[in-house]
Amino acid sequence: MSENLERRRFLKCLGASSLIIAPLGCSSVEEEGESDQPHYTMVFDQNKCTGCGECKLACTTANNLPEGKSRLLLEQQSGGVVGEVCPHCGKTDCDCQRKYVRVSCQQCKNAPCVTVCPTGAAHRDEKTGIVTMDASKCAGCKYCIGACPYDARFINKETDVADNCDFCLNSKLSKGELPACVQACRYDALIFGDLNDPNSYVSKLLRVKDAVRMKPGFGTEPSLRYIPIVKLGV
């Protein structure tokens, strides 16, 4: 009984407060630029990645980064499962390192680096919604580096300013090309496209494939999706 009453009162309050809060909420959504904006997404398929590193090289060249530096890393992880026969070497106790994960800016919808940046150098591109950098504004305070929950930013030693993967927004996308890493991947481990377009390949792919996002607990709503290696026969 009392529980019911409580609930009713709660709902009433909720209704009343939503009337007050809704307009506030709307006004903040508006500046995000609504549905005609694309939502660019990158999918990393762990099943296909061989760790060849072509994507890293392509990134370095495309974005004029200092030698050996690129906006992404490939973390090598052990492919073995404890107590099971390794599919690569046939031993139960191996140290085959056969699994790779792409480490790069996750293109958060709710990006801490953008919130935190005192100068607006780390910002969201108006047209595409991609998180990118205005190098001429960056003061090099490294606040964004500490704030990024994915540790996906770094200081470019040549320009002394912060840098992040922006899907090659200025180097490729603006010319109508795919990001350099996607072009370079010979194994189709990287798929890129607009998730707001139901006919795009990423949309279709994500409709049929299980994909996960990194550290969703931070509430940053990353745009990168990962298709993890699935162990069969467990």
User: Which of 48, 98, 109, 137 is close enough to bind another protein by CB under 8 A?
Assistant: 137
Query: Which is nearer to ligand SF4, 87 or 118 (by Cβ)?
Result: 118
Assigned token pair, 167: 């899907």
Q: Which does 108 bind (CB under 5 to 8 A by kind): ligand SF4, another protein, none?
A: ligand SF4
Q: What is the rounded distance in angstroms from the CA atom of residue 231 to the CA atom of residue 217? A: 24
Those residues whose C-beta lies under 8 Å from the C-beta of residue 201, and which sit 6 or more positions away, are 191, 193
Q: What is the rounded distance in angstroms from the CA atom of residue 45 to the CA atom of residue 130? A: 21
Binding of ligand SF4 by 141 (CB under 6 A): yes
User: Which of 65, 130, 138, 191 is close enough to bind another protein by CB under 8 A?
Assistant: 138
User: Which of 42, 58, 65, 108 is close enough to bind ligand SF4 by CB under 6 A?
Assistant: 108
Binding of ligand SF4 by 131 (CB under 6 A): yes
Assigned token pair, 29: 């959504």
User: Which of 57, 89, 94, 161 is close enough to bind another protein by CB under 8 A?
Assistant: 161
Q: What is the rounded distance in angstroms from the CA atom of residue 123 to the CA atom of residue 31? A: 13
Nearest to 40 by CA among 116, 119, 132, 114: 132
Give the gyration radius of the chain's Cα atoms: 21
Binding of ligand SF4 by 112 (CB under 6 A): yes
Chain residues in the site for another protein (CB under 8 A): 46, 71-73, 75, 101-104, 112, 115-121, 137-143, 145-155, 160-161, 212, 214-215, 218, 226, 228
